[in-house]
Amino acid sequence: MIGKLLIANRGEIAVRIIRTCTELGIASVAVHSDPDAAARHVRLADEAVALGGVSPGESYLDIDKIISAAKQTGAEAVHPGYGFLAENADFAQAVQDAGLIWVGPPPKAIDVMGEKVAARAVAQRADVPGVPGSGGAIESADQVTEFGAEYGYPVAIKASYGGGGRGMRVVADASHAAASFDAARTEATAAFGRGDVYLERYLSHARHVEVQVFADQYGNAVWLGDRDCSVQRRHQKLVEEAPAPGLSDALRRAMGEASVRLAKEVDYVGAGTVEYLVEAADDRFYFLEMNTRIQVEHPVTEATLGVDLIAEQLRVASGEPLSFRGSGIEPRGHAIEVRINAENVADGLFLPSPGPLGTVSAPDRAGVRWDSGYDSGDEVAPHYDSMVGKLIAWAPTRTHAIARMRRALDELTITGVPTTAPAAQAVLAQDDFAAAAINTNWLERDIDLAALLPSAGSTPSVGEDADTSDDEPAARDEVWVGDRRYVIPFFGASQVVSGAADTTIAQASPRRAGGAGSRRKGKRASAAGSGQVTSPMQGTVTDVNVAQGQAVSVGEILMIVEAMKMQNPIRAAIDGVVSSLAAKVGDVVASGDELAVIAPAADD
């Protein structure tokens, strides 16, 4: 067994791995950036190494620094967790080249399955059903319309080198092909460094079901049950559960066996997850992608199978054979996981809301588990993702698990920053969820989540200059989300949102966050359509698309403000000319800071 493990990650997953190391008698080594010097994973580890820097590119994404830290501390192995470098084949190879044990699949498997077009080819060889798609990357919008004419609409344009909804656009008809193609390539380039995109037939009523697989170094591979992750907003999971409800035994077995064939096709080793789009009524499933790492939602599988998947990863990496005797272990009961992120869900916008935490208190009841990277008094930094923790509830039946989770959410206390807990409560209260009548578009298409959540006007911001006046009615302005226009209340006196967040998740930029730059606090506008453009959140300006004196139109992207791995396009709310530009690339801006001013067009 491994004697000392370096964990190349932070937050919840780093804490999770440290816990298992403690149980197995493995010494743990944490690494950290400057903002994470006093983080929970650092406090819990046996040793810690400062990587330096603020941005992920200076710390958690710096391969040389992490390898050096492993050698410096005498660590024998490296566990990447999820996110950051977890699915980076170059990192896996560098770990092995340094004479260290890589707790993950072979670099070649990571490389092949990480490139979506190549992964589709592997799935085809392994006789795993796939959604109709392009044979490879496409080069023009004409190919989108040709594909749509052959297979029908809607069509999904997807990034070849990414996932999580980044670089993805759904094309409803031929008239939207050109704009969607350009937008997908632009976003894919910004998020993954490559703009390659491919096409798939978009299944608008399918469920998102994934299968947990595990393989050892001796050619043994098994599947360990399935999970449903259909409750999503902007292609990001909000609620997950195991086993996936409402599937026939034949469908479960077919997906499991297909997943094992896929794993064996690439000589897989370790934990992996094969994701599918499922049309349960017809017992049909289609390969989506394979994640070559431990999943965020792995605790629901652990809860229903009574296993520790991190411990199994460490045993397999140490050269031990699988401890599972076969595939398709019968699940015990039902488990649900809710992701609790530091985001303001008012009006259904899910705006990143970093800041210092007050009280963090998890429910103490049977069948409930709280996995978190934070304690009371810690700070959720704006430089990384927004997850505070994961709440997991297990019970003998799904109905009981839903009820137990709803009570657990009522008892979960997190102060200091707003969280996604109210959105989870709203989801769990829906009759459709209780009946498992859900799909990947259910939450955004069929549920008016904004109407079920507090309005921004009734939820004062947690930042400075929040307007707490009860005497003055909230002003309103335009916000563009997912290419749709909303009119919402202001968050407070300092938060004039003239054009704001399409909060599409993207990889954190490796660019160092620069100084605050020249900026000034925004002043409250008195009417909708103000030309004042301010930041709706704390973050870093990663792109500026306009110049002073440039004419702009309503909805045009002015700049990108990145916060907690979310890229938020700031859009013009009026037609006019950019009369002043206060932000530049690299500026760290606070909520309410002025970014630009647009002088209204003469005929306005």
Q: What is the CATH number of the domain that holds 175?
A: 3.30.1490.20
Say if residues 473 and 19 touch (Cβ distance below 8 Å). no
Torsion of CA 402, 371, 77, 72, to 10 degrees: 160
Does some domain include residue 11? yes
Does some domain include residue 250? yes
Does some domain include residue 121? no
The CATH number assigned to the domain holding 310 equals 3.30.470.20
Residue 505 scores a pLDDT above 90:
no
- 331 in the same domain as 480: no
Kindly give, in sequence order, each residue whose CB lies less than 8 Å from that of residue 21, ignoring residues fewer than 6 positions away.
Answer: 5, 27, 28, 314
CA distance 109 to 107: 5
- 445 in the same domain as 469: no
The number of domains in the chain is 4
Residue 591 scores a pLDDT above 90:
no
pLDDT value for 523:
34
Our separate counts of H helices and E strands in the chain read: 15, 33
Q: Which residues of 158-167 are buried (b: 16+ CB within 10 A; e: fewer)?
A: bbbbbbbbbb
- 197 in the same domain as 239: no
Q: Which domain holds residue 31?
A: 4-103
pLDDT value for 565:
58
- 337 in the same domain as 217: yes
- Give the residue carrying structure tokens 């994701």: 275
Q: How confident is the model over 8-13, as a mean pLDDT?
A: 98
Does some domain include residue 115? no
Residue 309 scores a pLDDT above 50:
yes
- 170 in the same domain as 251: no
Torsion of CA 322, 325, 326, 330, to 10 degrees: -110
Say if residues 581 and 509 touch (Cβ distance below 8 Å). no
Kindly give, in sequence order, each residue whose CB lies less than 8 Å from that of residue 105, ignoring residues fewer than 6 positions away.
Answer: 92, 266, 268, 269, 270, 272, 292
CA nearest 56: which of 90, 79, 77, 31? Answer: 31
Q: How confident is the model over 391-398, as a mean pLDDT?
A: 98
Q: How confident is the model over 512-521, as a mean pLDDT?
A: 32
- 577 in the same domain as 517: yes
Last residue of a domain, one of 201, 220, 247: 201
- Give the residue carrying structure tokens 């870093």: 540
Tens digits of residue pLDDT in 219-234: 999 999 999 999 998 7
pLDDT value for 521:
33
Last residue of a domain, one of 452, 485, 500: 452
Q: How confident is the model over 188-199, as a mean pLDDT?
A: 86
Tens digits of residue pLDDT in 170-179: 999 999 999 9
pLDDT value for 474:
34
Q: What is the chain's mean pLDDT, rounded?
A: 86
Say if residues 561 and 543 touch (Cβ distance below 8 Å). no
Kindly give, in sequence order, each residue whose CB lies less than 8 Å from that of residue 447, ignoring residues fewer than 6 positions away.
Answer: 426, 427, 430, 432
CA nearest 520: which of 454, 592, 466? Answer: 592
Residue 278 scores a pLDDT above 80:
yes
Main-chain dihedrals φ then ψ at residue 588, nearest 5 degrees? -95, 120
> Alpha-carbon torsion 350, 352, 358, 362, what sign?
positive
Say if residues 534 and 598 touch (Cβ distance below 8 Å). no
Residue 520 scores a pLDDT above 50:
no
The CATH number assigned to the domain holding 37 equals 3.40.50.20
**Neighbour-count burial of 434, counting CB atoms closer than 10 A to its CB (0-12 exposed, 13-18 middle, 19+ buried):** middle
C-alpha pair distances (Å), 372 with each of 86, 113, 294: 19, 29, 16
Residue predicted with more confidence, 371 or 563: 371
Does some domain include residue 123? no
CA distance 86 to 141: 33
Instruction: Place 391 in a pLDDT band, splitting at 50, 70 and 90.
Output: very high
Q: How confident is the model over 205-225, as a mean pLDDT?
A: 97
- 302 in the same domain as 191: no
Residue 34 scores a pLDDT above 60:
yes
For the ranges 191-195, 404-408, 415-419, 420-424, the lowest mean pLDDT is seen at 191-195
% of the chain residues with pLDDT over 70? 85
pLDDT value for 235:
77
CA distance 354 to 364: 26
3-state secondary structure of 121: helix
- 500 in the same domain as 482: yes
For the ranges 92-106, 292-306, 543-557, the lowest mean pLDDT is seen at 543-557
Instruction: Place 486 in a pLDDT band, splitting at 50, 70 and 90.
Output: very low
Does some domain include residue 111? no
pLDDT value for 497:
31
Residue 464 scores a pLDDT above 60:
no
Instruction: Place 455 in a pLDDT band, splitting at 50, 70 and 90.
Output: confident
Q: How far apart are the two ends of the chain, measured CA to CA in Å?
A: 71
% of the chain residues with pLDDT over 90? 67
- 143 in the same domain as 23: no
CB atoms within 10 A of CB 583: 24
Identity at 335, one-letter amino acid code: A
pLDDT value for 482:
41
- 422 in the same domain as 552: no
C-alpha pair distances (Å), 564 with each of 95, 109, 186, 342, 552: 27, 29, 20, 9, 28
pLDDT value for 494:
28
Identity at 361, one-letter amino acid code: S
Say if residues 431 and 446 touch (Cβ distance below 8 Å). no
Residue 596 scores a pLDDT above 70:
yes
The CATH number assigned to the domain holding 486 equals 2.40.50.100
- 262 in the same domain as 153: no
- 418 in the same domain as 273: yes
Residue predicted with more confidence, 522 or 279: 279
Residue 466 scores a pLDDT above 60:
no
Residue 301 scores a pLDDT above 80:
yes
pLDDT value for 470:
39
Last residue of a domain, one of 420, 452, 484: 452
Does some domain include residue 301? yes
CA nearest 348: which of 251, 246, 457, 451? Answer: 451
Q: Which residues of 328-343 are buried (b: 16+ CB within 10 A; e: fewer)?
A: ebebebbbbbbbbbbb
| DSSP conformational letter for 584 | -
Instruction: Place 538 in a pLDDT band, splitting at 50, 70 and 90.
Output: low
Does some domain include residue 122? no
- Provide the H-helix boundaries in 387-466: 398-411, 421-428, 431-434, 449-452
